[in-house]
C-alpha cells in the first residue's frame, strides 16, 4: 500500500505582470514575488511515525475505515479488509480483500518487510510476484503513523502523504475517537478534505 504538494497556480511572470499593471512599486513587487516563492516551496515537516510497532500484536484482521482515493481501490464497493500473518524470518503475509459491486471479492496477496531494526514502524509492502521482489520499485512504503496502545486503531501512510488508510479492529469507530484522530492527522499536515469513508459516503 503506498506527488509533491501543488505549486501556487500563478507563475512568477504572472505576478510580475499584475504588479506592473497596477503600478505597484518595485519594493512591493519584490516582496510579493518573494512571498509567492516561499509559498511555492513550502513543504510540511517530515512525516512522523509512531515510536515502535510490535508486529506480533499488529497481526490479524484490520477493517478499512477510511482512505485517500487511490487507483487500485477504485472498484471497491464496500470496506476492504487486510489480514496480516507473521512468517518465518520476520516477514508478513498480507491479504487484502475488497468487495465488488457484482458481489464478488477481489483478493490481493502480498508480502511486507520491516525496514530498520526491531520495533521499527516502517515497513515496505509488495503485491508484485515474488520473482520481482528484487526490484525496489515493486515495494511501497507502509508507515504506521498512528496506533493506539491497545492495537485497535491504526493509520498507515507514506512519506509524501499521497496515501492514507485508517484501519480498525472493528468495522466502525466511535465519534469521539474519530475526532481525536482527525486532530492528530491535521497536526501531521494531512489534507483531510480528501478522506473518504471506505465504500463511499461521508467519514464517521
Nearest-angstrom CA–CA distance, 170 and 173 = 7
Contacts for 79 with CB less than 8 Å, ≥ 6 apart: 63, 64, 65, 99, 171, 198, 199
Instruction: Report residue 130: phi and psi, to 5°.
Output: -60, -30
CA 154-159-161 angle, 5° bins? 70
Higher local confidence (pLDDT), 6 or 85: 85
Domain ranges of the chain: 12-41, 55-197
Lowest-pLDDT range of 135-139, 143-147, 154-158: 135-139
- The predicted model scores a pTM of 0.75
Q: At what angle do helices 12-21 and 26-41 cross, to 10 degrees?
A: 150
pLDDT of residue 58: 98
What are the cell numbers at 153? 486503531
pLDDT exceeds 90 at position 143? yes
Nearest-angstrom CA–CA distance, 80 and 198 = 7
Domain 55-197 in CATH 3.10.20.600? The answer is no
pLDDT exceeds 80 at position 189? yes
pLDDT exceeds 90 at position 132? no
Nearest-angstrom CA–CA distance, 79 and 61 = 13
pLDDT of residue 136: 61
- C-beta separation of 122 from 109 below 8 A: no
- C-beta separation of 144 from 154 below 8 A: yes
Q: What is the mean pLDDT of the chain?
A: 78
pLDDT of residue 18: 32
pLDDT of residue 19: 29
Average pLDDT over residues 72-90: 88
pLDDT band at 102 (very low <50, low <70, confident <90, very high): confident
- C-beta separation of 175 from 163 below 8 A: no
pLDDT of residue 64: 95
Percentage helix, strand, coil for the chain under 3-state DSSP, each rounded to 5? 25, 30, 45
Amino acid at each position: 500500500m503506498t506527488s509533491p504538494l501543488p505549486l501556487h497556480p500563478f507563475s512568477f511572470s504572472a505576478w510580475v505582470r499584475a504588479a506592473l499593471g497596477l503600478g505597484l512599486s518595485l519594493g512591493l513587487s519584490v516582496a510579493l514575488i518573494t512571498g509567492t516563492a516561499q509559498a511555492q516551496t513550502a513543504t510540511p515537516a517530515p512525516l512522523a511515525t509512531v515510536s515502535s510497532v510490535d508486529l506480533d500484536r499488529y497481526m490479524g484482521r484490520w477493517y478499512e475505515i477510511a482512505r485517500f482515493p487511490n487507483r487500485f481501490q477504485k472498484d471497491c464497493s464496500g470496506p476492504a479488509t487486510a489480514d496480516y500473518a507473521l512468517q518465518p524470518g520476520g516477514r508478513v503475509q498480507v491479504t487484502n480483500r475488497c468487495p465488488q459491486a457484482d458481489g464478488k471479492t477481489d483478493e490481493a496477496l502480498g508480502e511486507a518487510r520491516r525496514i530498520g531494526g526491531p520495533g521499527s514502524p516502517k515497513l515496505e509492502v509488495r503485491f508484485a510476484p515474488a520473482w520481482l521482489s528484487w526490484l525496489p520499485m515493486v515495494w511501497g512504503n507502509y508507515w504506521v503513523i498512528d496506533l493506539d496502545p491497545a492495537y485497535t486503531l491504526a493509520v498507515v501512510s507514506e512519506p509524501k502523504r499521497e496515501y492514507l488508510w485508517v484501519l480498525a479492529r472493528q468495522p466502525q469507530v466511535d465519534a469521539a475517537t474519530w475526532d481525536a484522530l482527525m486532530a492528530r492527522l491535521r497536526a501531521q499536515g494531512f489534507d483531510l478534505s480528501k478522506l473518504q469513508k471506505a465504500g463511499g459516503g461521508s467519514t464517521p
